[in-house]
Amino acid sequence: MLIDWIIFFGLAVVAIASGIGLLLSKNAIYAALNLIANFTAVAIFYLILAAPFIALAQIAVYAGAIMVLFLFVIMLLGAERLGGTSTLRWQRPLAIVLGLILIVETVLVFINRSGAIAPIVEVTADFGSPAAIGESLFSTYLLPFEVISVLLLAAMIGAIVLTRRRDQKA
Amino acid sequence: MDVALWIEWIIKALILVLGLLTGFAYLTYMERKFLARFQNRYGPNRAGPFGLLQPVADGVKLIFKEELIPAQADKLIFMAAPIITTVPALIILGVLPFGGVVNIMGREVPLSIAGNLNVGVLYIAAITSISVYGIVLAGWSSNNKYATMGGIRSSAQMISYELALALSFVGPIMLAGSLSLADIVEEQMRIGWFIIYQPIGFVIFLIAALAEINRAPFDMPEAEQELTAGYHVEYSGMKFALFMMTEYIKMIVVSAIAATLFLGGYHLPFVTDQPWGVWLGPFILIGKIILLLWGIIWVRATLPRVRYDQLMAMGWKVLLPIALFNVFLTSVIMVLFPNWFSH
């Protein structure tokens, strides 16, 4: 389908451009906005892959809740202007080396790919529906699901303990 | 894809957007007229019969106003913020069913854009959560302390009340066993409106929705006395009109969602069940929306604004626990009396 190709490559351009924009923005607010655009593009990728639940969860949780918190903190602290010099000097060379390794590996995978692309599997009508996801979450993936919930609870308690003021100790 | 289907969708989308815009214009008139009556005044009564042309006069006035952009403002975001605010409010009703399926010239047409979307309620939650950006960015980009203060207040308020709002969706979802709004309305036709089963959920929804759309008594982000107008203090002309429009459209949107989730949507017993009643669906839904809007205006005319710390304390310490308890109670009742519900 031609339309699928156009949508896919349009989205890919948006996703990559917003990713690069996030890295290059001098202003933290613009960086956050680029990240929101990136999350939204990824959400639409999920929609194309017949996973509406994941797509909307991505928008509600990442593009919505988490990024609103980020913006809120950036604005509250007045931290939108980033400092010119980086405090971690070894970080930039290391990042370049690691990035190069990633690109080389990707190219190698593409070159050495054995055989043709796997044929597209037709998805069933209830594929990716909330009911199907809920069922697999609470049966096949019950243990990881519960482990994550305990982890999140621990993180929440940790945040509350850390932000507690000293003089409030009862 | 079927060309007729595309035409059908475009027509429906146009009707929805135009309906919301007209609704906005006449909601401002309705609010001013009702507020006037609550305060023993006449309200607008000069432009046209009963002042009915007042919204048109307001619109023409705003078009001819000078557009000011503050010198130190972040121009790009300042221009984009009104648009970012308006779009979520306009698209959120795409998943709302306005009626059953009707037959137009031999074609089965459901009276909604995507009413049977199987993640409809989640879509509403997702769009709600991104609708805060416009306000925050407008406040920040104005480079004005009152505007920034209003933007920060509104983001804090919307994050806090979003949780209670989303939890109040859970009751109807569990009762209907579906995230699709069409299924939720159909289940209400079968077992009765969900306000009977979810009185606590309905009240939580109304309070959280008022906070979510920054209406009185939760209009802290634009408290006139302290912030002059909050996040849109630097905006003028049509950009200001876009913010006003979004506020009023959001009132219509939350009323429509409340009517659909708890008050049976387009359903009215003994009327829409009849074969001739299908076309009445949208009008019944509009009637319910107008009743709820009247309630929202009544609240504004009656209650004083709450203080900011009271607002936060109420959201986190009162509304959220009650909403969680409501989810717990609903599940316990559904497990104890499985025969009442279809699944």
Chain B residues in contact with chain A using a Cβ-Cβ cutoff of 8 Å:
74, 77, 117-119, 122-123, 125-130, 132-133, 136-137, 139-140, 148, 151-152, 155-156, 158-159, 162, 179
Provide CB contacts within 8 A for B132, sequence distance 6+: A68, B154, B155, B158, B159
The domain of B227 spans 60-95+116-336
Please report the number of interchain residue pairs, chain A to chain B, with beta-carbon separation below 8 angstroms: 70
Residue B174: closest C-alpha in chain A: A131
Q: How confident is the model at residue A100 (pLDDT cuts 50, 70, 90)?
A: very high
In a domain, B227, yes or no: yes
pLDDT of amino acid A136: 86
Average pLDDT, chain A: 82
Q: What is the pLDDT of residues B254-275, one digit of tens each?
A: 999 999 888 888 887 777 677 7
Query: Among candidates B88, B129, B114, B130, which has minimal Cα distance to B180?
Result: B114
| Residue B217 in domain | yes
Report percent pLDDT > 90 for chain B. 8
Q: Which of B87, B119, B179 to substitute to test the interface with A, most A CBs within 10 Å?
A: B119
Q: What is the pLDDT of residue A150?
A: 95
Distance, in Å, from the CA atom of B59 to the CA atom of B22, rounded to the nearest integer, reads: 12
The residues, any chain, with a CB within 8 Å of residue B131's CB and separated by 6 or more, are B85, B88, B89, B92, B158, B250
Residue B126 has pLDDT above 60, yes or no: yes
Mean per-residue pLDDT, B184-191: 83
Number of domains in chain B: 1
Phi, psi of B312 (to 5 degrees): -65, -45
Q: Is residue B153 part of a domain?
A: yes
CA closest to B77 among chain A residues: A30
Which strand (E) or helix (H) includes residue B102? strand B101-104
Residue B44 lies in a domain: no
Dump pLDDT digits (tens) for A59-77.
Answer: 888 888 888 888 888 877 7
Alpha-carbon span B43 to B310, nearest angstrom: 32
B200 within a domain of the structure (yes/no): yes
Mutation for B interface: A75, A80, A124, most B CBs within 10 A = A75
The tens digit of pLDDT for each residue in B69-108 reads 788 777 888 888 888 888 888 888 888 888 777 777 777 7
Whether B1 shows a pLDDT value over 60: the answer reads no
B-chain residues within 8 Å CB-CB of A68?
129, 132-133, 136, 155, 158-159
- CA-derived radius of gyration, chain A: 21
Residue B198 lies in a domain: yes
Instruction: For B148-181, write each residue's pLDDT tens digit.
Output: 888 888 878 888 888 888 889 988 888 888 888 8
Nearest CA in chain A to B125: A60
Taking an 8 Å cut-off on Cβ atoms, the answer to whether A64 and B122 are in contact is: no
Residues of A in contact with B136 (CB under 8 A): 68, 71-72, 75
Would residue B19 count as lying in a domain? Answer: no
Q: How many residues does chain B have?
A: 343
Q: Which residues contact B320 (CB under 8 A, 6 or more apart)?
A: B163, B164, B167
Interface test with A, best of B133, B148, B159, B312 (most A CBs within 10 A): B133
Q: Hey, are the CB atoms on A72 and B117 less than 8 Å from each other?
A: no
> Is B2 among the domain residues?
no
